[in-house]
Structure formats: structure tokens, C-alpha cells
Amino acid sequence: MNQLPIPDGVHFSAHLPLAWHGVLQQSAFEATRYLAVLAEFESTSDERNHAQDALHAKLDLMLLWTAKNASHNLPTPKDVMIGLETIAWHDVAALPLGAHGALAISLSHILPFSLQLPAEIISCTLMDQTYTVTARLLLKEETLRDWFERTVFRTHRRIVHAERGAQA
């Protein structure tokens, strides 16, 4: 299969649930809150005391159960390349250049959620019977853009650390 385009700057590749929707059906507030919760969920804090750890454990379990119940609505997983400003993926169908809509993507296997990000299709090429589609993210709300960038940086950093550990 052909390679996905690699964006400039911080990025990562993964196999994640992803689908294109012609209409954004999620508020920027909901998307922002999910990214903030995901960051907290994936972090470990030495500053918490035992009571806070117990409360976080209960909240984490409730989040996991909720996510598990909602995970049957996730799109089909695809190979994706996620950058700070673009997301590229392989698809069986072409999408028209300039189309505006939303990318529904689940950024976590542990805390699955169909996050919708506003985007515009900027490239769609056919190679080996598969389309390579690239969308530019249209994250106009500063808070949403900030949390998305944090997520990309955190995931990139985690992958780099894992690769270094595997080489050692």
C-alpha cells in the first residue's frame, strides 16, 4: 500500500477509527472537553493524595464503562497520519477537493470517542486502487486547537519514547 503524506512538524501515524462526514455534528465545547479529559486520563500525577487517587479511579472507571458502551458507534479503523494542521488517510472512496465537513476520529483505544473535527479536503489522489485523502483541520476555536495540539504532541512524544526503548 502507498505511504501517507508526512506533514511538516510534529506528527504521528496510527491505525484509528476515522470517517468523513459532510456536516459537523459536535460542538467545539464537547470536542475540547473530551481532549482535556483524555489528557487527564492518560496522565499520572504524583501530586494527588490517596483520596484524590481513589476519586480519580472511580471517575476513570465510569469513563471507561461509558466509552465501552459508546464504542460500537465508532467508524472503521484506517491508517492515518495526524499532524498539527492536517490529517491524511487511505480510503476506498474519493472525496471532492474543497469539501467542508468533519473528520470523525477516535484518538484513543483506551477511552474511545468519536471526536469530530471541522476540516476541508485539500488532496485526494488514487494509487493502487486506494485513495489517499488529506484534510486541513479548521480549528477556529483557540481552546480546541490548543487541546488538539497538546494531544498530537503527547502522542508523538509517547511514540518516540517507545521507539527509543525498543532500540535500547
- Inform me whether the pLDDT recorded for 55 exceeds 80: no
**Host domain of residue 87:** 11-167
Residues 6+ apart with CB under 8 A from 111: 37, 38, 41, 63, 64, 67
Judge whether 101 lies within some domain: yes
Could you tell me if 96 and 134 are in contact, meaning their C-beta atoms sit under 8 angstroms apart?
no
- Inform me whether the pLDDT recorded for 168 exceeds 70: no
For residue range 81-132, what is the model confidence (pLDDT) as tens digits?
999 999 999 999 999 999 999 999 999 988 888 999 999 999 999 988 999 9
Judge whether 60 lies within some domain: yes
- Inform me whether the pLDDT recorded for 150 exceeds 90: yes
For residue range 12-49, what is the model confidence (pLDDT) as tens digits?
999 999 999 999 999 999 999 889 888 887 876 655 56
Give the per-residue pLDDT at 44: 65
Judge whether 2 lies within some domain: no
Domains in the chain, number: 1
Judge whether 6 lies within some domain: no
Judge whether 42 lies within some domain: yes
Judge whether 5 lies within some domain: no
Give the per-residue pLDDT at 20: 97
Residue with cell 499520572: 44
Judge whether 4 lies within some domain: no
Judge whether 133 lies within some domain: yes
pLDDT, greater one: 60 or 145:
145
- Inform me whether the pLDDT recorded for 1 exceeds 60: no
- Side-chain-side CA neighbours of residue 24 (13 Å): 19
Angle at 150 between CA 2 and CA 148, to 5 degrees: 65
